[in-house]
Amino acid sequence: MNKLPVSRLVVMKFGGTSVEDAVAIKRTASIVQGRRDKGLTPIVVVSAMAKVTDQLFAAAAAAARGDRSGALAITARLRNRHFETAKALISAETICDLGQWVESEFGSLDEVLRGLAAVGELTPRISDMIVSVGERLSSRIIAEAFRHYGLDAAHVDARQCIVTDAQHGKAIPQDSLIEQRLREHVLPHALAGRIVVIGGFIGSAADSAPDKLITTTLGRGGSDFTAALVGGGIDAGSIEIWTDVNGIMTTDPRIVPGALRVKTISFEEAAELAYFGAKVLHPATILPAVRKNIPVLVLNSHNPQNEGTRIISLAPHCRSPFKSIAVKRRLTIIDVVASRMLMSHGYLRAIFDVFDKHKCPVDMVSTSEVSVSLTVDSNEKLPEIAADLSQLADVKYEGRKALVCMVGENIRGQNGIAARVFQAIRHVNVRMISQGASEINMSFMIEEDDVEEAIRSLHAEFFSDPDPEIFDVEALKERAPEPVKEGVS
Ligand code: ADP
Ligand code: ASP
Ligand code: MG
């Protein structure tokens, strides 16, 4: 087999808003064509069309509570949306086969939902089967659309390549098997110059029979993860995450519309931001790329000319302490109070064993003489967790909390930063504070209702005089209002 220079392979991941309708998919095709014109070989990872995964989850939940017609009404709307999109993109000759396939996919989906409504028990395995439909549909429709627009594209079923364990809903990828499968199913197309289109988010359990794959998913937002697994698995020259904002911004632009693009950020900083709530990247995305030192770019499919954010191994020096502020909502604080036992041997382990038993990850921990406070994602297992913990000590828990996480390599060893942070949000009730073990984040818990105000105040404090080497200050100039001319009424 002749060998393609590795750096020519570029993994391009398009999120839900980048493939939300026919217009967006057409835009995606031209972005991919642009990479082709530069002599690159794109491997395209796509999410489900915007909001489809949410709707599939909603259909599954409706069926599970016995609302059969509610579930089928959702799939009827989805069926219509996918048909209309395909019709707007694809020629009359090819639409026939694709249309039949789409019809049969929805036929099987409806059958599963009817069964679910009758039985009333939604297992994680069935849930994965249902929610995977979004990426299975989008990837095939997009591959077909690419061909229609003159790109030599081949569709690959992600389940043939992304091999995982059987933890449905948040399956763990099996790297070496994935590499092997990518070599079998993806590389030959790339070597022949074809553009592979593959669905993100979904995979299959390693112990599936080849003719009966057991579908798994990588967790919400998991298409970014797929992109990194594919990029790492084929030694791509770069990984591009195409989304609906200009890159990683100084904070979520939905909270601060004047947030600035961060031009370059380190892997470590980006991973920290993602883990602590910056939805723009899935937390696990960076790892496979870091291991192989593959640059990751975050780019805007609605504004492809923008240079986006480059994630590199070592961040250049930055004048300001922070690069970005992330926020993670829907958290619960659990307080465990036990005056008698705290210092006894094995006590903390006993507490963590409870979280381990319920497979519940803990975000932040703080301890005092007599108590331990922990934060977790609000979830339906909390009453059971609290019941188990109450065997050890007094327990109370409180939801509707948010974690604010300020990230930047420059906070290492700088004095007075915490004072500036807490001065900026002096009117907000801060519950727990931690300066992360990684030394590059400062995090604290607040009430969910205070999030917007706290983030705006912090943003004004730390990003009003941005370092032009790191932040896109040109955008700031473009946005500045016209100065009022004297003498003009
Ligand atoms: P996609 O569908 O492309 O995966 P997501 O909705 O998952 O897109 O992520 C993009 C969104 O992430 C943006 O629209 C933005 O509101 C949000 N976001 C949160 N924090 C940040 C941040 N620091 N920088 C950029 N976007 C952010
Ligand atoms: N479609 C999946 C989700 O909405 C995966 C993704 O978009 O990254 O979570
Ligand atoms: Mg996403």
3-state secondary structure of 230: helix
Of residues 352 and 479, the one with the higher pLDDT is 352
Pocket test for ligand 2, best of 45, 53, 279, 301 (most atoms within 8 A of CB): 53
The closest ligand to the CA of 47 turns out to be 2
Residue 436 has pLDDT above 70, yes or no: no
* Residues 373-428 pLDDT 10s: 999 998 888 999 999 999 888 999 999 999 999 999 888 767 788 899 999 999 99
The confidence score (pLDDT) of residue 110 equals 98
pLDDT of residue 23: 97
Report whether pLDDT(92) > 80.
Answer: no
- For residue 246, the tally of other CB atoms under 10 A from its CB is 22
Structure tokens, 183: 């070599």
Whether residue 488 has pLDDT greater than 60: no
Give residues with Cβ within 8 angstroms of 244, minimum separation 6. 15, 17, 18, 300, 301, 302
Q: Let me know: does 462 contact 321? Beta carbons within 8 Å.
A: yes
Task: List the single range of 128-132, 137-141, 270-274, 338-342 with lowest mean pLDDT.
Answer: 338-342
Neighbours of 25 (CB within 10 A): 24
Q: Cβ(447)–Cβ(401) under 8 Å? A: yes
Here the tokens at position 391 are 């065997």
Which atom of ligand 2 is least distant from the CA of 220?
9
- Maximum CA extent, the chain: 80
341 within 8 A of 334, measured Cβ to Cβ? no
Asked if pLDDT for residue 481 goes beyond 70, the answer is no
- Ranges 24-33, 134-143, 405-414: which has the least confidence: 405-414
Count the Cβ atoms, other than its own, within 10 Å of residue 350.
Answer: 16
Hey, which residues does 443 pair with through a beta bridge?
405, 434
User: HSE (CB half, 13 Å, CA atoms) of 205?
Assistant: 18
Ligand 2 nearest atom to the CA of residue 47, by list position: 7
> What is the arithmetic mean of pLDDT over 166-170?
95
Ligand approaching nearest to the C-alpha of 16: 1
The alpha-helical segments, DSSP class H, found in 396-470 are 417-424, 451-463
Return the pLDDT at 471. 96
Looking at residue 483, its pLDDT comes to 54
Query: Is pLDDT above 70 for 475?
Result: yes
User: Coil, helix or strand for 331?
Assistant: strand
The pLDDT tens digits for 203-252 are: 999 988 888 899 999 999 999 999 999 999 999 999 999 999 999 999 99
**Band of pLDDT at residue 484, cut at 50, 70 and 90:** low
Q: Is the CB of 285 under 6 A from ligand 1?
A: no
Q: Which ligand has its closest atom nearest to the C-alpha of 135?
A: 2
The beta-strand segments (E) located in 38-177 are 41-46, 153-156, 163-164
What is the pLDDT averaged over residues 3-28?
89
**Is the pLDDT confidence value at 93 over 80?**
no
For residues 285-290, give the mean pLDDT. 86
Q: Is the CB of 376 under 6 A from ligand 1?
A: no
The proportion of the chain whose per-residue pLDDT surpasses 70, expressed as a percent, equals: 94
Token pair 């979830």 is found at 379
5 pLDDT band (50/70/90 cuts)?
low
CA 80 – ligand 1 centroid, Å: 27
For the ranges 24-28, 69-73, 343-347, the lowest mean pLDDT is seen at: 343-347
- Report the DSSP pairing between strands 9-14 and 238-243: parallel
3-class SS of residue 356: helix
Is pLDDT at 6 greater than 80 in this prediction?
A: no
**Confidence class of residue 341 from pLDDT cuts 50, 70 and 90?**
low
Q: What is the distance in A from the centroid of ligand 1 to the CA of 278?
A: 7
CB of 244 closer than 6 A to ligand 1?
yes
Per-residue pLDDT averaged across 336-362, rounded?
Answer: 81
pLDDT at 405: 94
List domains and CATH numbers for the chain. Answer: 7-244 (3.40.1160.10), 324-477 (3.30.2130.10)
* Residue 313 per-residue DSSP state: S
Tell whether pTM > 0.85. yes
E strands of 161-273, at which residues? 163-164, 195-199, 202-205, 215-217, 238-243, 264-266
Q: Range with the lowest mean pLDDT among 2-6, 279-283, 354-358, 360-364?
A: 2-6
Average pLDDT over the chain, rounded to an integer: 91
User: Which of 121-125, 418-422, 475-479 ranks highest by mean pLDDT?
Assistant: 121-125
Is pLDDT of 327 > 80?
A: yes
The residue among 2, 10, 48, 55 whose CA lies nearest residue 32 is: 10
Closest residue CA from atom 2 of ligand 2? 221
The single-letter DSSP state of residue 44 is: E
Assess contact for 3 and 188: CB atoms under 8 A: no
CB-count exposure of residue 380 (10 Å: 0-12, 13-18, 19+): exposed
164 pLDDT more than 70: yes
Pocket of ligand 2 (CB under 6 A): 15-16, 47-48, 53, 134, 200-201, 220-224
Nearest CA to ligand 1 atom 21: 252
Dihedral angle of Cα 271, 274, 277, 283, to the nearest 10 degrees = -100
